[in-house]
Amino acid sequence: MNWRKFNGEPIHLPIKDQVRKTIEAEIEKNNKLSVYIGTDSQVKQNFTEFATVIVFLRQNNGGFMFIHNEKSTQSLHIKERMLLEVSKSIEVAYELCDLFIEYDIEMEVHADINTNAQFKSNDALKDAMGYIMGMGFAFKAKPDAFASSCCADKVIH
């Protein structure tokens, strides 16, 4: 997976090593972190683009994020696409969760799924919630899922 910083600078280390290095640097500065992982997608002409983000918020001191973009030519129904977004977030959260436990950092997985039944994405809400919580992660959906619905949404090319 190719990750980058918000300014476009590529991350050359494996993401787990970069996250560890980042956590340790923030601890050195006495910053308390919370982490939010989310994925959003957009259907373009003949492909779907996904953006997964790891958002680091410093308590009372701003934040930053790491970004991964990828494209798929697979044709997906909206429920399949919502659940694929969730699985991409879960994959990253699972890879990094032992670091968050080790450094006592709160982490949530955010799903770009509407809690309002009038929206099509709501079809995937129960499955997504079960998947995320079944993995033992804290879960937020729209309108509280800022990592996916705001941050990841902004970094789709």
User: What pTM did the predictor assign?
Assistant: 0.93
> Are residues 72 and 35 in contact, defined by beta-carbon separation less than 8 angstroms?
no
**CA geometry: angle at 91 spanning 102 and 110, to 5°?**
85
> What domains can you pick out in the chain, each with its CATH number?
3-154 (3.30.420)
pLDDT per position as a tens digit, 60-102: 999 999 999 999 998 888 889 999 999 999 999 999 999 999 9
Looking from the CA of 44 toward its CB, the CA atoms found within 13 Å total 11
**What is the average pLDDT value for the chain, to the nearest integer?**
94
Distance of CA 129 to the CA centre of its chain: 15
pLDDT at 123: 85
Closest by Cα among 79, 85, 76, 75 to 123: 79
